Amino acid sequence: MTGFKTPYGLIGRKLGHSISPEIHMALGNPHYSLYELEPEELAEFLSDTRLKALNVTIPYKLDVIPLCASLDPLAEAIGSVNTLVRQEDGTWKGYNTDAYGLRCMMRAGGLTFAGQHVLVLGNGGVSQTIQAIAKLDGCAALTVLDLAGTEYSYDDLPRFFGSTTLIVNATPVGMYPKAGASLVTLTDFPNLRGVADVIYNPQRTALLLQAEALGIPYAGGLTMLVAQAKQAAEHFFSRSIDDAKIAEIGAEMQRDAENIVLVGMPGSGKTVIGAALGKLTGRTVIDLDAEIVTRENRSIPEIFADGGEPVFREIESAVVEEQSAKRGVILVTGGGVVTQERNYAPLRSNGRIYQICRPVSELSREGRPLSLGADLDKMAETRMPMYRRFAHAAIENNSTPEAAAAEIWRDFCAYTRTEWAEFEHAGRA
């Protein structure tokens, strides 16, 4: 039986990667723990009167309802509870703060349920909230798909290709450590106007990366997570918290978790700038070429000599996928990483990508198999569109590595603040 740790916390079955304690710490509550419970432990655990308030996640958002003496009207209407607060008589009252978080997430992505033909993937606890809010907020039609085929199964997907205008993923498909998976292919939906995904790790799931590539407005789950926690804390302590706190916490968490990725021509200075950036930020620097050498136990020229470029690119893509799953690091890539389109998704899923720019005449060739004896002007002409395709910002390496690193960090911090601008002045207007 899971033992008591603190009066506040999160209950669920698997919580190894939860960042809820960090969010509640930022909200002023240092007494918040993770409680992993098996289904048979739930009732006994909740009987511990030392517990004052809890958040609830998969798979217990429905299971806790019979254990509550009362429900907030919204939680009762939705039929899903993600927040429990101990009452003076010792009983539990259930709330649903996912609804508030969901509306914040939709607003942050410029999305709305009003008038939309909504397709919800999954039918668990968070899906119940999505379905209820979609109806309350005026959706034109609502369809739910799940494995059990409660309403429709995924085999029925083609029936809704033409009518769907908004997709919301309420499943764990695409979540770390199995990032890269998606239940749907967005090009199948010709009238799609928006996509939302409740997953927050990775920052951009395979589903959201599809939306980004197609220019479809989208919203990710970190906003929902932070916003629902803010409202839960209000219930925990019976006090109001400024909505601007959502921006403050969310921007900081995104900044801490998102990777900085450096791409650019061989010899453009990525390695020395990455080192300077690591010193400036305190982040771990991961050189993907060095990781390849360690993994293969042979040098890059030896890999090229043994198997040629195709073999090297296969190895490189495997390392890209593996290392991109890390969070809050600096990834220094090889010059040719952009020649493989498959590398974009893992690098982008948790990262902002910067192109390091330097005149071709100043590029170093030392230790670079494809640069030795190559026409670098021709290589640059071929690769520049690829670098522009991958990168979100370009940094000129025309001064010191420290200056370039400082420019990257300024841009990165400004970018994360901009991502949360919707809430920054919410309570101060």
Beta bridge partners of 121: 145, 169
Residue type present at position 175: M
Residue length of the chain: 429
Rounded CA-CA distance 232/314 in Å is 46
**What is the widest separation between alpha-carbon atoms in the chain?**
81
Rounded CA-CA distance 172/121 in Å is 10
Tokens found for residue 259: 């990777």
CB 324 within 8 A of CB 296: no
* Among the listed residues 15, 417, 9, the one whose alpha carbon sits nearest the alpha carbon of residue 201: 15
Rounded CA-CA distance 384/404 in Å is 19
Rounded CA-CA distance 312/358 in Å is 25
* Among the listed residues 64, 6, 13, 12, the one whose alpha carbon sits nearest the alpha carbon of residue 32: 6
Catalytic residue among 5, 14, 52, 61: 61
CB atoms within 10 A of CB 418: 11
- Give the helix, strand, coil percentages of the chain, each rounded to 5: 45, 15, 40
Tokens found for residue 120: 């919800």
Q: Is 378 a catalytic residue?
A: no
Residue type present at position 85: V
Rounded CA-CA distance 323/8 in Å is 34
Please name the residue that has the structure tokens 């230790």. Answer: 367
Question: How far from chain centre, in Å, is Cα 57?
Answer: 17
Rounded CA-CA distance 84/91 in Å is 10
CB 143 within 8 A of CB 119: yes
Active site residues: 61
